[in-house]
Amino acid sequence: MEKQKKILILILTIGVFGILNTEMGVIGLLPSIAEHFNVSISEAGLTVSLFAIAIAVSGPTMPLLFSGIDRKKVMLLVLGVFVVGNIATLFITNFTVLLIVRIILGFFHPIYCSMAFTVAASSVSKEAAPKAVSKVFIGVSAGMVAGVPIASFIDSAVSYEMAMVFFAIVNCIVFIATLIFVPAMPIEERLSYGAQLSVLKKSIIWISIAAVILLNSAVFGVYSYLAEYLKTVTGMSPNTISLTLLLFGAANIIGNLVAGKLLTHSAMKSVVSFPLFMGAVYIILFFAGQFAVPMAMITFIWGILAGGIMANINQYLIASAAPEAPDFANGLFISSCNVGTTLGAAVGGLLISGMGTQYVVLVGILSILLSFVTILLRNFMITSKRQFLG
């Protein structure tokens, strides 16, 4: 039984990697997409932005619609859609059709990811759930970090088409593994759509959503422009920038391993103290950003906090606020993260254009300060409720 659980979580981790790889890996292919379809780089960027918008829109709805169906069947459906979608991109010659396929994949993305978190958490005891979820998040980090350089390498070494084949192969492997090794997972107690939607009446869910949006805004408002920051403020060479970004990615995976232990043993303390550590990192980054060695060191610490620990905290904040509707809650989590990413990147861009690249860190400091306030408010609401019930 224990071995089956480990196999299940491994499959979920690789599955999430495949889904995120399809989403983020395209970033490394934008020049080739622009050339292949004879469009500008900014137009090619729509393959990323429209995918993200589709996720934000479908995050709360699609997992809800599929919440009553056997989870193995749903996972196979989503993986099948991604395999077919990635293969289809090999034969598409019209850019508009490519965007439509990417939007369709974006709509199916939250179904698998939210279900992966739910299945991982439900496969172990309540106490061990954060640790199981943190392992699945390794797939998220790997998909976001490794997907771009892998796809870019295949594109430059072989061709754009083979990079798209790579996306399809990963999803195909997970499809076969799910078919063979994952048991049927029928829903024993099916919650009505109304019962799941009723969690939106809880004030705790809305304050949790606000906290997640602000935390993600704090990270991606700065990270979205990290390469530009390292170039213009720190003065790093292109190769050093690549190594620093890789360092950030590796730190993400370490952060996931740390997060599982923190949330298992001291969830409340970890959540409250997180903004304080992030705020300290951003203050150091703001004042030491022009020095290469300190910048590399702080980027590594930032990667542990931002990519690994924060992602797990975000999922915990919303999932623990609505444990009675796990699939819907995880869908809300995914959607909130995408809203936060979009908001942070937009504000960061405004700060750069208005004040200069160095001041992009201010979006991180402001967002993390506001997130700290919302987290304190959330904790006050939980404590007050416990005292009232007690």
Tens-digit pLDDT profile for residues 219-255: 888 887 777 788 888 888 877 887 887 788 788 888 8
Q: What is the mean pLDDT of residues 348-371?
A: 89
- DSSP codes, 283-351: HHHHHHTT-HHHHHHHHHHHHIIIIIIHHHHHHHHHHTT-TTSHHHHHHHHHHHHHHHHHHHHHHHHHH
Residue 61 has pLDDT above 90, yes or no: no
Give the other-Cβ count within 10 Å of 3's Cβ.
Answer: 7
- DSSP codes, 73-121: HHHHHHHHHHHHHHHHTTT---HHHHHHHHHHHHHHHHHHHHHHHHHHH
Between 87 and 144, residue with greater pLDDT: 87
Element at 374 (helix H, strand E):
helix 361-389
Residue 118 has pLDDT above 80, yes or no: yes
Same topology for domains 2-190 and 194-389, yes or no?
yes
Structure confidence by residue, pLDDT tens digits, 139-159 = 877 776 677 778 878 887 888
- Correct CATH for 194-389 of 3.30.2270.10, 1.20.1250.20, 3.40.50.1100, 3.20.20.210: 1.20.1250.20
Q: What does the pLDDT read at residue 100? A: 95
Sequence spans of domains, the chain: 2-190, 194-389
Q: Is 125 left (phi over 0), alpha (psi -120 to 50) or beta?
A: beta
User: Token pair for residue 54?
Assistant: 């589709």
Structural class in CATH, domain 2-190 = mainly alpha
Cα–Cα nearest to 160, from 239, 90, 249: 90
| pTM summary value | 0.80
User: Token pair for residue 41?
Assistant: 């780089």
Q: What does the pLDDT read at residue 98? A: 94
Element at 45 (helix H, strand E):
none
Q: What does the pLDDT read at residue 338? A: 82
Cα–Cα nearest to 261, from 300, 316, 210, 214: 316
Q: Is 70 left (phi over 0), alpha (psi -120 to 50) or beta?
A: beta
Q: SS3 letters for 151-220? A: HHHHHHHCCHHHHHHHHHHHHHHHHHHHHHHCCCCCCCCCCCHHHHHHHHHCHHHHHHHHHHHHHHHHHH
Residue carrying the six token digits 């599929």: 66
Q: What does the pLDDT read at residue 85? A: 94
CA 346 to CA 353: how far, in whole Å?
11
CA 171 to CA 133: how far, in whole Å?
20
Report helix, strand or coil for 60: coil
CA 356 to CA 286: how far, in whole Å?
12
Q: What does the pLDDT read at residue 306? A: 84
Q: What does the pLDDT read at residue 388? A: 67
Question: Dmax over Cα atoms in the chain, in whole Å?
Answer: 66
Cα–Cα nearest to 201, from 311, 300, 60, 322: 322
Report helix, strand or coil for 66: coil
Do 108 and 62 touch, CB atoms closer than 8 A? yes
